[in-house]
Amino acid sequence: MSFLDQLQELSTKSKCFNAACWGIFGFGVIKLTTLILRCMALFADLYILPPVNFSKYGAKKGAYCVITGASDGIGKEFAYQMASRGFNVILISRTISKLEALKEEIEKKYNVRAKILAVDISADDSSNYTKIRQICDSLPITALINNVGLSHSIPVPFLETEEDELRNIITINNTATLMITQIVTPHIIQSIKSKQASRGLILTMGSFGGLIPTPLLATYSGSKAFLQSWSNSLAGELSGDKIDVQLVLSYLVTSSMSKIRRTSMMIPSPKKFVQSTLGSFGRRCGSQERYATMTPFWSHAIYEFVIDETFGVYSKIVNAINYSFHKSIRTRALKKAATLAKQQ
């Protein structure tokens, strides 16, 4: 008797076997259907659905948007593009000369008000937060963009990470973000109650370094993973206050933090990245399975989607690939530093 004949005979005699086959078939259909639906949602989020109307967040109504890390890179672009939408802005960063130049440019170009505050967020000093409270006092604030962040100077084993670098990363990425959000959010709630806007907005910059556990960037990776859980939790807490909270995930963007200067399909400029963020705000794009999270730039979204649907962000193989990638970066950086040292 052939194998197929044996299989057919077994199927006629065993109800359990038939049930198992149908169960496997049904499970496969469900998985395929959900995959197709997620693909359709990804495509709609990235290419079909219209951008949000920021008037509900107080655009062109005299409302203010607070932006941290505002003097360079992505933060500077958020300042430009929120001002272009009709928001007054409060710009917080470290370098007063850059802030003054940015303030003058924004007020002249977009005909909005800009307030500036220079503080060193890496110094976990209560006076910093006192100054932030003072500049926000009595202003109709409806939006907060938590952009300030710090990574390692180069990929480094955790056991070799200098204490100052470790503490600065946690202070800037986590402590300061939480403290500033606590200061600004009551102003947003009050502005909604006074009809300055119908909804409020809190947007926090995350990273693929937090999405995917990243060897040789362990402290930075952990700090950004913390923001994922915190931001999602905050979204649940503030939904009843009509505040939209969203974590924004990015892969690489040309910036002083990434030390990348050339754009490519996978590496947009800050301008392109912020355009995609504000253009698809409120949608998940590549973060189809994550609440209150978005991966707005199209190539980053597809990259995350593929990882999620294949190996998974927490898989051993993705971890190993990430380790190899950052080990190579570290090797090149150390070699370059050694060459420069010899030349001096």
Binding-site annotation, residues: 207
**Contact yes or no for 108/165 (Cβ under 8 A):** no
Residue 117 near residue 131 (C-beta atoms within 8 A):
yes
How many CA atoms are closer than 13 Å to the CA of 129, on its beta-carbon side?
17
What is the Cα 161 distance to its own chain's centre? Answer: 24
Binding residues for substrate: 207
CB 202 within 8 A of CB 234: yes
Question: Alpha helices, DSSP H only, in the chain?
Answer: 3-13, 15-43, 73-84, 96-110, 126-136, 163-170, 176-193, 208-211, 218-238, 270-279, 298-309, 316-343
Selection from 157, 271, 145, 287 nearest residue 210 by Cα: 287
Catalytic residue among 64, 220, 291, 303: 220
Per the annotation, the verdict on 220 as an active-site residue is: yes
- The 3-state secondary structure of 115-159, one letter per residue: EEEECCCCCCCHHHHHHHHHHHCCCCEEEEEECCCCCCCCCCCHH
Residues annotated as part of the active site: 220
